[in-house]
């Protein structure tokens, strides 16, 4: 029996009791959810439902708890239900009921832990969105790991999620990039404001190789040469960014070009930015003042109204932000999640104001998550980029698994300082190694069991009575609720912390309970049943690691 199923039983019991007392109070499974007691002498699961509802229906908490417990004790699979303190209900499952979890996990496989709490929701998850003017660096790693892990968790809860990267490929920074690449391609001295780093020289060489007549073009038409060098350099740099992300096990479904927002349609349609101002004007949120077009964002909580375009006809960054948000809305996304860096707190108000002006619910249709920076001791500046620590260098030094795990195990809004040598260490003090080692152990048990003739031909869950077995089964039962909670709160670090607890429970079980008989002992149903439990632990470790983009090796 899972904690969710037990909560359903308790909700049903409490609903009947409430109705019998003539109350119209509504009871939900959320009201009767159960928790794992810290003291295992208090049973497998505990509920404070009686104390939550006693006052609302005019009952004594302990008396209400006794009534609930009496009925709970009759639930199939419950060994006993006892009262503690002012009205806590402690429930102990019988061994067979608890042990059934092992079979359920193995039979459901990758589907175990996945649910439908967010079914029907279509979510746009935008993250990283670094300028395509240079390689990805350490500042982008946390957003990449957290964004991708969050999307995986949301999908596990039933949502349809699209990972999107917004390419800032318009504006002054792109022109600066183009001048830098052209100068490098022509062997000229770098412009005063050029981007630093050897990567620009490398891009320049590649551009010169792919446009062999670039010097002749520049001699006759410098602007044409700049346009070609900038475009090719941009495409080469963007391809490198995509490759780095894939190496980091981060996949994007959509790369959305900012330039497309400025491009008019083939049949004379207005550009998306021009269309955005018309749409917001139709909603009554646009006004003109001081030779500029404004959007009245203060009506939606922004600290000041925003300029869309000034008298020179040049659109502001806000204009692109508004058009981009409307694009997401037009593509059918209900919730739009933005994962932004620590220096983007000012964007929260303006983005929510755009949502409000577009007619969306600012509480449910847009979520802005602000992440803090990460500091990694021992990391070295890139020789190629000069003034940054490149993602590719971090991956070569630490590996994808270690870096992703460590970045995923902390809340996004907490500052993070990591020790590089600890991150890459292969000891039990390193949580990623500790969890992966637990999974590798489950695989080793499988191999050794097969060699010893132990299989899963029998399953007798009532035999799983050792304290470490009860503890391990309890951890496995918690996994679906952990995934649902991580999805609801957009906090993938809850998965990582759970996996560490599960690994600890598995290691304790491994040290105390044998799957393979000693010496000449015969293979019995207990061994076969423990193999089910071993495989269930391995399955949940794999499922959880996958949600944070980390592999589950079978050997370490």
Give the chain's domains with CATH numbers.
3-93 (3.30.1360.70), 122-165+251-370 (3.40.50.620), 172-247 (no CATH), 427-547 (1.10.730.10)
**What average pLDDT score do residues 542-556 get?**
97
Q: Higher-confidence residue: 380 or 374?
A: 374
Q: Is pLDDT of 381 > 70?
A: no
Give per-residue pLDDT as tens, 132-170.
999 999 889 999 999 999 999 999 999 999 999 999 999
CA-to-CA distance for 520 and 225, rounded, in angstroms?
A: 81
Average pLDDT on 452-459 reads 97
Q: Does residue 384 surpass a pLDDT of 90? A: no
- Rounded distance between C-alpha atoms, residue 133 and residue 167, angstroms: 10
Nearest to 6 by CA among 88, 70, 75: 75
Lowest mean pLDDT: which of 193-197, 393-397, 469-473, 491-495? 193-197
CA distances from residue 470 to 93, 380, 400, 513, 546 in whole angstroms, order as listed:
10, 47, 34, 12, 25
Dist. CA 70–CA 65, nearest whole Å: 8
Other C-beta atoms lying within 10 Å of the C-beta of residue 11: 19
pLDDT of 538: 98
- Residue 197 pLDDT exceeds 70: yes
- Residue 24 pLDDT exceeds 70: yes
Confidence of residue 383 (pLDDT cuts 50, 70, 90): low
pLDDT tops 90 at residue 95? no
Flag whether pLDDT at 442 surpasses 70: yes
Residue of 92, 110, 109 lying closest to 47 (CA atoms) = 92
**Is it the case that residue 239 has pLDDT exceeding 90?**
yes
């Amino acid at each position: 029996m899972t904690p969710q199923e037990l909560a359903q039983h308790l909700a049903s019991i409490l609903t009947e009791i409430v109705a019998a007392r003539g109350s119209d109070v509504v009871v939900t499974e959320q009201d009767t959810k159960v928790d794992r007691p810290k003291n295992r002498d208090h049973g497998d699961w505990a509920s404070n439902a009686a104390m939550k509802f006693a006052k609302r229906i005019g009952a004594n908490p302990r008396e209400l708890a006794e009534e609930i417990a009496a009925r709970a004790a009759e639930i199939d699979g419950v060994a006993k239900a006892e009262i503690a303190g002012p009205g806590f209900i402690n429930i102990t499952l019988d061994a067979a009921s608890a042990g059934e979890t092992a079979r359920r996990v193995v039979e459901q496989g990758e589907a175990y832990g996945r649910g439908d709490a967010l079914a029907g929701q279509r979510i746009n998850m935008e993250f990283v969105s670094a300028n395509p003017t240079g390689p990805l660096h350490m500042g982008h790693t946390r957003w990449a790991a957290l964004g991708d892990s969050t999307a995986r968790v949301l999908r596990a809860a039933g949502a349809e999620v699209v990972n999107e990267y917004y390419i800032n490929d318009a504006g002054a920074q792109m022109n600066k990039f183009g001048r830098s690449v052209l100068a490098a391609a022509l062997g000229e001295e770098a412009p005063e404001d050029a981007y630093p780093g050897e990567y620009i020289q490398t891009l320049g060489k590649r551009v010169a190789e792919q446009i062999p007549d670039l010097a002749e073009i520049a001699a006759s038409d410098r602007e044409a040469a700049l346009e070609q060098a900038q475009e090719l350099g941009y495409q080469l740099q963007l391809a490198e960014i995509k490759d780095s992300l894939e190496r980091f096990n981060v996949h994007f479904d959509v790369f959305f070009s900012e330039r497309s927002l400025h491009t008019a349609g083939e049949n004379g349609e207005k550009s998306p930015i021009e269309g955005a101002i018309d749409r917001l004007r139709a909603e009554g949120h646009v006004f003109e003042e001081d030779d500029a077009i404004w959007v009245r964002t203060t009506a939606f909580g922004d600290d000041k109204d925003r300029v869309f375009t000034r008298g020179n006809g040049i659109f502001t960054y806000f204009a692109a932000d508004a058009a981009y948000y409307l694009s997401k809305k037009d593509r059918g996304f209900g919730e739009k999640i933005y994962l932004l860096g620590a220096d983007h707190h000012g964007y929260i108000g303006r983005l929510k104001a755009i949502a409000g002006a577009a007619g969306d619910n600012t509480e449910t249709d847009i979520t802005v998550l602000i992440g803090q920076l990460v500091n990694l001791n021992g990391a070295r500046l890139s020789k190629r980029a000069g003034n940054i620590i490149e993602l590719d260098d971090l991956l070569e030094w630490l590996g994808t698994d270690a870096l992703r795990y460590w970045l995923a195990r902390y809340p996004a809004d907490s500052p993070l300082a990591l020790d590089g040598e600890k991150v890459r260490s292969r000891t039990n003090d390193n949580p990623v190694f500790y969890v992966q080692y637990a999974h590798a152990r489950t695989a080793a048990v499988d191999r050794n069991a097969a060699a010893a003739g132990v299989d899963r031909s029998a399953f007798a869950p009532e035999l799983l009575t050792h304290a470490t077995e009860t503890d391990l089964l309890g951890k496995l039962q918690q996994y679906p609720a952990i995934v649902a909670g991580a999805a609801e709160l957009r906090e993938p670090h809850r998965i990582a912390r759970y996996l560490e607890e599960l690994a600890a429970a598995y290691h304790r079980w491994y040290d105390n309970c044998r799957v393979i008989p000693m010496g000449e002992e015969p293979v019995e149903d207990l061994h076969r049943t423990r193999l089910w439990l071993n495989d269930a632990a391995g399955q949940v470790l794999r499922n959880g690691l996958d949600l944070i983009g980390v592999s589950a090796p079978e050997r370490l």
